Structure 1
Amino acid sequence: MANDKPKVEFIDNPNPLRTKVKVKGGDPSDMLAKAEESVQKLGGEFETIFSDNVTALAAAMADVRQGGMTRERALIAMRRLLHDLRGQAGTFGYPLVSHIGDSACKFIDLSEDFGPTETDVLAMHINALQAIRQAKIKGDGGAVGRELMDGLRKVILKYNAGAELD
């Protein structure tokens, strides 16, 4: 045959990015270690942040129950607090708090109207966060955490099915 070239050719492409990117301030491994150390230091502060946020969420929940414009402002405030909490909780080793915050955020986002049933579902999320704070549950919460999340999932499924909540 006149054309003895292989049909497939493998080309080894070196990664030139490392030579082009210059990191100021030292070795990236050292920088990562410093960042991890900072996260550890802030981890102790998270418990205070979490407690303060749960207190603020409980106060906003009372405003949601009032209705009208007070409800609208309270829902906006709750959404912001829950959004921040779900992001921070995961970073500092509280995935259960993050999951509950995420569920509550999604519930607020997807609720077209906020009547008594929606208020009750949201209150169950806030009650779960209060229980976590009171019992000082860390991490995923083990069996208690699974029970809390299963309960919230059942409530959401029942709500989505259009059934009255007990």
Structure 2
Amino acid sequence: MKKRQEAKLDEASVKNFGDYEVIVPKHNLRTYVHKVDGPDDGFGGIDPEAIERAEAALAQLAAEFDGWMEKEVERLVTARDAAAAHGLTAENRTALFSAAHDIKGEATTFGYPLASRAAESLTALLLGIEDAKLLPWPLVSQHVDAIRAIVREEAKGEDHPVALELVEKLVLLSTETLVDVTGVPPLSP
């Protein structure tokens, strides 16, 4: 029975959930992480070599991060431009929100935490103000331009003074706008 269970772990599978699918990878990470025998080693019982291998793999991918980030920013700019040209329809709003939400989740991993904060502020605006007529389009557009500038100028980390000041101003303006329009601030500034 145990061999049959192990064989299932080595096979990729696809689970359908109506309008989306989840691909379960071929390998389970637990097969690559080994418990360390003996007293507590400060690593919580995880093989430090496994951590080093994972960090090395991440370092190899890091060279591609900037390219991925540029593609995400391009998608955000395209969504903003479509909404500006054709109005903030439900479809355009969804595309803009999706692009901003993806950047919010990925930018820190790609080395752009300030772009992530700007994207978080943008998603808060898009979620918080449902009526397109009340959504301050210049502020939305400024968020997109700020994210694009942060990535273009490679303002990595959290200590780039111009990018930090820009993001802090955008977050402040978004918070004030949400309070003015809805009466409540975003859940996380």
Give the TM-score normalised by structure 1.
0.72
Higher Rg: 1
- Bigger fraction of residues in helix: 1
Q: 2:147 aligns to what?
A: 129
The number of residue pairs the alignment matches comes to 140
- Which one scores higher on RCO, CA 8 angstroms, separation ≥ 6? 1
- Bigger fraction of residues in strand: 2
Asked if 1 retains the 8 angstrom alpha-carbon contact of 2:66 and 2:110, the reply is no
| Alpha-carbon distance in structure 2 between the residues aligned to 1:26 and 1:66 | 51
Once the 2 structures are TM-superposed, how far is the Cα of residue 127 of structure 1 from its aligned partner?
0.8
Query: Secondary structure at the residue paired with 2:146?
Result: helix
Answer yes or no: is 1:54 the counterpart of 2:73.
yes
Pick one of 107, 121, 143 that aligns with 1:89. 107
Label 1:59 to 1:25 Cα distance change in 2 as closer, same or farther (>3 A): closer
Q: 1:76 aligns to what?
A: 94
Segments ≥4 residues shifted beyond 4 Å: none
Asked if 2 retains the 8 angstrom alpha-carbon contact of 1:94 and 1:138, the reply is yes
Answer yes or no: is 1:33 the counterpart of 2:40.
no
Amino acid in the other structure paired with 1:62: D
RMSD: 2.3
Asked if 2 retains the 8 angstrom alpha-carbon contact of 1:65 and 1:71, the reply is no
Segments of structure 2 that go 5 or more residues without pairing to the other structure are 1-29, 35-45, 182-189
Label 1:79 to 1:157 Cα distance change in 2 as closer, same or farther (>3 A): closer
| Alpha-carbon distance in structure 2 between the residues aligned to 1:88 and 1:159 | 26
Q: 1:24 aligns to what?
A: 31
Segments of structure 1 that go 5 or more residues without pairing to the other structure are 1-22
1:71-107 Cα deviation digits (max 9, x unpaired): 3212212222222222222223321111111111122
| Alpha-carbon distance in structure 2 between the residues aligned to 1:162 and 1:26 | 51
